[in-house]
A and B are shown apart, each in its own frame.
Chain A
Amino acid sequence: MRLPLFVLGLSFFLLFSACSNVDLIATNSKTIQEHLSSYKGEKAVLLNVWATTCAPCVEEFPMIVSLGNEIKDLEVVFVSADFDDQLGEVKSYLNEQKVIGVSFIKNENDQSFINGIHPEWSGSLPFTILYGKISGKILIFWEGKESESKFREAIQRAINE
C-alpha cells in the first residue's frame, strides 16, 4: 500500500504546484515598500492588506482581482495578514481567486508591520492604499470594505497622478 499512496500523494503535490501561478513571499513591510516603489513611473499601485479569516476582506477580494485584470495601468498587490500557520489556506485562496505573480504574507510583529505599511493605519482589516503612477506617492487610503465605484474613483486618480 505504501508505494501507491506515496505516488498518489506526489501526483497531488505536482498537480497543486503546477496549478499555482502565485509566488507567495513571507516578508516584512520594508521589503513590501521596496517592491511597491519599483512601479513608480510605470503603473498606479493598489495595496490591499487582507486575511482569509476576515469576512469583509474576502467579500471585496474578487472585485479587486477583477479590477487588476481589467485596468492595464494598475498593479494590484495583496498582502496577507494571516497567521503564519495559515500559509496553506492563503496559497489555496490566492490560487482559487486566480491571483498571479508576486503576493505577500507578513512575517513581522503586528506593530512594526502596521506602522511600516502606514503610520496612520489602526490595524483594522481590510486596509487599502493607492499609490500614484507618476509620483509613486500615497494618494488615498482607507480601512474597511468599500464599493467598486469607490475603488474605481480612487484608481483613476492614482493613474492620473
Chain B
Amino acid sequence: MTGITFLIGGELEIGSAMPLMDHQLADISGNTMTLADVKGDAGTLVVFSCNTCPWVIRWEDRYVSLANTYAPKGIGMIAVNSNAARFGSEDSLEEMVEHAKNNGYNFPYAQDPESELASAFGATKTPHIYLFNADDKLVYLGAIDDNAKNAKKVEVPFLANAIDALLAGNPINPQTTKALGCSIKFN
C-alpha cells in the first residue's frame, strides 16, 4: 500500500460500542435528545439522513415502513441530520420539520451539532445506516436495501433482514453493505 493516499475516515467497526450516546441532538419536536433517549429494548437504528439528497428522497419511504414494523418490536429509531454546513439553509430545523411532516416521519429527526455524531460513527453519506443490538454494540452497517429507486423491486432487504436476525437471535449476514449516497456536509 506504499504510496497510496487514503483520505476516507474509517467507519465504526462491527462490534463497536455506540459512540456519543449522550451527545445532545436538536430534534424537530423542539426538544433536545440523545441516542440514549431513543435506544430501544431490542436494539437501536441510527440513520444518517438529510432533507434534499436524491438517495434519501428515493429511500425514505422505507424509513417509515421500517419504523412501523420494528418500533412495536422494541427497535428504537432516529434519523440524524449531520449536514452542519447547511443548517443555515436547506437543512435548517424548520425545513426538517416540514420535510418530516411531508414524508410522514414516525420517528425522531434531529440535528447533530458540529456533525460530531457523524464524525464519531465514521458516517460519510446519506443515507448511512447503523444498527445496534440491545447491548449497544454495532451489528449491521451500510445500506437499507439494494434498490433505492423502487421498494417493490428490492431483491435483498439488507436492513430488514439484519433486524429480523437480531430479533430472532440469529447471526446477521451480511453485516456490512454499501450503497451510493450524498456526502455529509461537515462544517
Tell me the A residues contacting B by CB distance below 8 Å: 51, 53-56, 81, 83, 85, 109-111, 113-115, 120-126, 138-145, 161
Contacts and interface: CB of A to CB of B under 8 A. Distances in A.
A10 to B, nearest CB: 32
The B interface is mostly helix, strand or loop, or mixed, namely: loop
B143 interface: yes
Nearest to A132: B3
B135 interface: no
A2 B54 CA distance: 38
Contacts of A81: 180
A122 B11 contact: yes
18 contacts: A85-B149, A110-B146, A110-B179, A111-B177, A114-B178, A114-B180, A121-B8, A124-B181, A125-B183, A138-B4, A139-B3, A140-B4, A140-B7, A141-B6, A141-B8, A142-B7, A142-B8, A143-B8
Given A114-B178, A125-B125, A140-B4, 19 more contacts: A54-B54, A54-B183, A83-B58, A109-B147, A110-B146, A111-B143, A111-B179, A122-B125, A123-B178, A123-B181, A124-B182, A124-B184, A139-B4, A139-B5, A141-B6, A142-B5, A143-B7, A143-B8, A143-B124
A75 to B, nearest CB: 20
Q: Which one of B6, B54, B143, B183 has the highest number of Cβ atoms from chain A below 10 Å of its Cβ? A: B183
A109 B146 contact: yes
Contact of B148 (A110, A138, A141): A110
A140 B178 contact: no
Contacts of B177: 111
A90 B41 CA distance: 46
Nearest to A154: B5
A124 B83 CA distance: 14
